[in-house]
Amino acid sequence: MKQSDPKPHHRRILEEFTRRAEAFATAPPITDSEALNLLVRMSGAGPQDTALDVACGAGLVVCALAPLVQHATGIDLTPAMIERAQALQEEKGLTNITWQVGDVLPLPYADKSFSIVTCRYALHHFEDPAAVLAEITRVSATNGKVVLVDMYVSPEPEKAAAFNRMEQLRDPSHVRALPLEALEELSRQAGLQTLERTFYDLDWELEPVLQGSSPNPGDFEPIRKMFKEDLERNEMSVHVRRQKSKIWFTYPIVVIVAQKPSSSGRRRIQKDPTGCSRFQSKPEP
């Protein structure tokens, strides 16, 4: 029986991340050890935990958690990314990892399978992030930790739209980045209770980002024009600036640590106790 073609958005994901597997896996902002260590620290990972990373990409989060937990699992739609993840596992000599090529709707795991579930830099690629968060909640153990890491946009609709227009040109697999309040509301609707959150920046130079992205051939110049115009306008809210004649910009990132409560669980919010000036308990104005 002939297998049906993947959904159009799945096809875009497969095409984009197959082409960009090496660039994505090795980009300094993605491999940043400080940011990875922050996620691991905020997850509270320990030797009794079983961890799942949803849309695991090149396996960086899974390989950072594996030395601390009983077992770690990574799932991603793109075989090329899982190949990169397997290579990283072999390089690090880790033996307590399972990789799976697959979709996240639904996640192919039983209810309450994992005490830690993470999802980093992926929510903006999902057409239905609410459904993905519902699946994350389903496979999370009662009182398990969920760590969500993603870019967020301005609460001003015009600025959010400007950012998403640029991202959709730069990366055709981008669906929509959400304002902070919308991300937190999705988490609440999925039945999760926020424990703590923190913020940091990912700084990128524009030209290497474009070379590692996959815009349509005619879109390179419109993207450059958007960034040059934003030097004065700040419409995209990504702090576009010139540094030594090169254009740089910054993705604002939030880390939300939540818990799947028991029926008697109470909501508790803490500020991030990292003590590192790079990581803030409030978004910068």
Under CATH, which number does the domain 8-154+173-203+252-263 receive?
Answer: 3.40.50.150
pLDDT exceeds 50 at position 163? yes
CA distance 198 to 38: 9
**pLDDT digit string, tens, across residues 57-87:** 999 999 999 999 999 999 999 999 999 999 9
pLDDT over threshold 70, residue 140: yes
Percent of the chain with pLDDT over 70: 91
- Assess whether pLDDT exceeds 70 at residue 285: no
Task: Tell me the mean pLDDT in the region 154-166.
Answer: 97
> What's the confidence (pLDDT) of residue 23?
83
The predicted pLDDT at position 278 comes to 62
pLDDT band at residue 146 under the 50/70/90 scheme: very high
255, 42 Cβ separation under 8 angstroms: yes
Provide the 10 A C-beta neighbour count for residue 89.
Answer: 20
Residue 6: per-residue pLDDT: 63
Confidence of residue 3 (pLDDT cuts 50, 70, 90): very low
Domain range annotation of the chain: 8-154+173-203+252-263
pLDDT (tens digit per residue) in 203-254: 999 999 998 888 888 999 999 999 999 999 999 999 999 999 999 999 999 9
